[in-house]
Amino acid sequence: MAIASSGAVSFSDLRTEFVGGSAAISYSDLYRGGSNIRAKAANNTGVNLAASVPTSGTINIANFRSQAKGFRFTYTSGATNQNASSLFGDDYAVDYPKEIVIDSGVELGATSTSEEALQIDTGASGSITITNNGTLSGAGGAAGSAGGDAFEADVACALINNGTIRAGGGGGGTGGQGSYESVNYLYSYSPYTWMIRVSSGKVEVRWAGVRYINAYIGTSTTSYGQWRRGNYVGTDSTFVKYYVGQASTSYSNGGSGGVGQGYNQSAGAGTSGTNNSGNGGTGGGFGSAGSTGANGNSANGSSGGAAGNYIRGLSFVTLTQSGTVQGGTA
């Protein structure tokens, strides 16, 4: 907690904020750049919360008003795929308090499911406090794949969520495979036709000039070997003529699933299946799994991808929650 901006301030207040313990202190213990109040490393992009404390020379209580021990980085505009270590540079590994603040109306996002909007990565020392007043958004999953995580902690930290932390939605599942029958008709020569007539209660069938008596003929059953009745092409005297066709079974893949909702990405609808295959499933919204693909007549559709996590590394996080969260934890 920062030193009061007005009113009485004691050496005990300074010791509590900057030194700790109960031993006696003097002004010489409180210059900025010493072991108790650190100077900021050149590659630390945050601000020093004790920037008004002198590094040498005259020093008095007035120099400490509204000052605090620590470094703070504030997000005032959007960014993607952020790591805490890159914010504080060489000071990230120093045992010194660090704060990260996301302003209201600011969104940090992940551009792929292998990234997070904000990661508190390894190598840190000292306390780390993150205050989210804006939005952290994970990436949406591809078709059939899980959505991305919004926040990851690999070291101990405190997270105060006053805004929104939302995991990416899972991608929709693939539609089931379809099967359909196709017939290869022999159109080249007229002898290659079925010729059928009914006479005296019997069915007479001819094919390629060969006569079969009492041959069974149906609309979709095998009549002779692997040949099936083909397209009707008219009559010849008392015969009904059909082209000869050879039936085969073909397969079609189901429709693709839609993408899940994520940073700068809306949930997508699945594509349509063809030839008796199923439609792809719809991608899930923030924090939701994708829909299962529709079944085809040959195979069932696949499940949609799971939602991502709004926090990964929950065991490292002390969470104060007064905002909105969408997704799971891990």
Instruction: Name the band, by pLDDT with cuts 50, 70 and 90, for residue 181.
Output: confident
Is the same domain home to 132 and 280?
yes
Residue 19 belongs to a domain: no
Judged by average pLDDT, the poorest of 38-52, 94-108, 182-196 is 182-196
Rounded distance between C-alpha atoms, residue 29 and residue 255, angstroms: 70
Residue 93 belongs to a domain: yes
CA Rg, the chain, in Å? 37
Provide the domain limits for residue 40. Answer: 25-69
Is the same domain home to 98 and 154?
yes
Three-class DSSP labels, 117-182: CEEECCCCCCCEEEEECCEEECCCCCCCCCCCCCEEECCCEEEEECCEEECCCCCCCCCCCEEEEE
Residue 114 belongs to a domain: yes
- Among the three residues 10, 44, 69, which one is the final residue of a domain in this structure? 69
Is the same domain home to 147 and 163?
yes
Instruction: Name the band, by pLDDT with cuts 50, 70 and 90, for residue 234.
Output: very low
Task: Say if residues 182 and 161 touch (Cβ distance below 8 Å).
Answer: no
Is the same domain home to 262 and 120?
yes
Name the domain count of the chain.
Answer: 3
Is the same domain home to 284 and 294?
yes
Is the same domain home to 187 and 217?
yes
Q: Render pLDDT for 271-302 as a digit per residue (tens, 0 to 9).
A: 999 999 999 999 999 999 999 999 999 999 99
C-beta atoms surrounding 302 within 10 Å: 21
Is the same domain home to 101 and 213?
no
pTM (two decimals): 0.81
Is the same domain home to 158 and 295?
yes
Return the SS3 of 30: helix
Assess whether pLDDT exceeds 60 at residue 33. yes
pLDDT of amino acid 155: 98
Task: Say if residues 179 and 297 touch (Cβ distance below 8 Å).
Answer: yes
pLDDT of amino acid 213: 44
- The mean pLDDT value of the chain amounts to 87
Rounded distance between C-alpha atoms, residue 129 and residue 72, angstroms: 9
Q: Degrees (nearest 5) of the Cα angle 141, 144, 145?
A: 40
Task: Say if residues 45 and 87 touch (Cβ distance below 8 Å).
Answer: yes
Is the same domain home to 136 and 247?
no
Rounded distance between C-alpha atoms, residue 175 and residue 226, angstroms: 32
Considering the chain, what percentage of its residues have pLDDT values greater than 90? 78
DSSP state, residue 272:
P
Across 11-15, 115-119, 213-217, the highest mean pLDDT is recorded for 115-119
Q: Degrees (nearest 5) of the Cα angle 170, 172, 175?
A: 155
Q: Render pLDDT for 237-257 as a digit per residue (tens, 0 to 9).
A: 455 555 455 567 889 999 999
